[in-house]
Amino acid sequence: MTWQERYGAGLMNTYGTPPLLLTRGKGAHVWDVDGKEYVDLLAGIAVNSLGHAHPAVVAAVTEQVSTLGHVSNLFASEPPIALAHRLLGLLGAEGRVFFSNSGTEANEAAFKLTRRTGRTHVVATEEAFHGRTMGALALTANAAYRTPFEPLPGHVTWVPFGDAEALAAAVTDETAAVVVEPLQGEAGVNQPDKDYLARVREITTRHGALMWLDEIQTGVGRTGTWFAHQNPALVDGVVVPDVITLAKGLGGGVPIGATIALGAAATLLEPGNHGTTFGGNPMATAAALAVLDTIESEGLLDHVTEIGALLVEGLTADARVTETRGAGLLLGLDLAAGIDAKLVVSAAMAAGWLINSPRPHRIRLAPPLVLTRQDAEAFVAAWPAILDSAGAAS
């Protein structure tokens, strides 16, 4: 029986059969079961922030699991306490953190937190993606995701992403929160005007609603700053939200999510309101601390900005790329009319590059933050031939 047959016989058909069986990785490189090497420009969907088998993550997990891997939240341990304070320090704000296991769980906790305001109305944006649990799914406008599971919880209004006037019309004094991503990753890296988040802050403040930023894909250095809402290339001025959700790159491949509440919002959840057995255990939080330490010690924020600019300049030199969006190492590429992004993904994989097509004419790049200049330059050099192989006319 082939691995594809074993996969289909044993796993629920929620993803279809994947194209590759990967067996190992190092840095930004992975190898499949046949020994073929690829450069990973997706990083497990922005998860493997330090690439594969990074020594700092390996050492942190090994040391922690050999002493105290899990204790539940009936007891305390040092790593989650240290991580909470570290994240608040990076934000430069007072608050509290709830740790979970994933992005959708982080958003689920934030959704429950908004109910503690005494209001139930939430405003979200079209084309957003916040997760697949029933609560997080209730915030997602995409009918294909929602319809099979309706009715979903919540009183939710959707407005076009980046449209501050539409947002102002939707938010009222009965609105609990506005949830928005600084960049919409799953939509192909949609990017709003630089004053958008400041407008969101002004509108929510005026109506006494919470401003909730979903930084699950954009946080932890992905755009070249610790958080995307701190990035002057994306946002004008200083914006201080009430709630931030993180996951993906925070654990460098180890499952962890974080719901960060700032200011008065930090006291909304009380004992008995929410919980998790695995969330924030010593092993996962030790991994996250190692990720943050390494980003800082290796100067990866500047590196991400530099390599992202190299990719944008090199890839847009080909006229078949009509637009780029994003910052750092979260980039969306629009392809010229008639070019099928799925064929481009297949051509790239055949040539040894792993990329993603979240929309029919869009490519998403979210490589490890440790992607080398050599690998980035090699991808730029390979890009025209990849488009040629996909049948994209010059």
Which residue numbers are catalytic? Answer: 129, 214, 248
Peptide bond into 80 cis (omega under 30): no
SS3 per residue for the chain: CCHHHHHHHHCCCCCCCCCCCEEEEEECEEEECCCCEEEECCHHHHCCCCCECCHHHHHHHHHHHCCCCCCCCCCCCHHHHHHHHHHHHHHCCCEEEEEECCHHHHHHHHHHHHHCCCCCEEEEECCCCCCCCHHHHHCCCCHHHHHHHCCCCCEEEEECCCCHHHHHHHCCCCEEEEEECCCECCCCCECCCCCHHHHHHHHHHHHCCEEEEECCCCCCCCCCCCCHHHCCCCCCCCCCCCEEEECHHHHCCCCCEEEEEEHHHHHCCCCCCCCCCCCCCHHHHHHHHHHHHHHHHCCHHHHHHHHHHHHHHHHCCCCCEEEEEEECCEEEEEECCCCCHHHHHHHHHHCCEECEEEECCEEEECCCCCCCHHHHHHHHHHHHHHHHHCCCCC
User: How buried is 278 (Cβ within 10 angstroms: 0-12 exposed, 13-18 middle, 19+ buried)?
Assistant: middle
Residue 167 exposure: Cα atoms within 13 Å on the Cβ side: 28
Dihedral sign computed on CA atoms, order 227, 231, 234, 240: positive
| Residues 92-105: b if buried by 16+ CB within 10 A, e if exposed | eeebebbbbbbbbb
How many C-beta atoms lie closer than 10 Å to residue 382's C-beta? 17
Q: CA-to-CA distance for 208 and 34, rounded, in angstroms?
A: 57
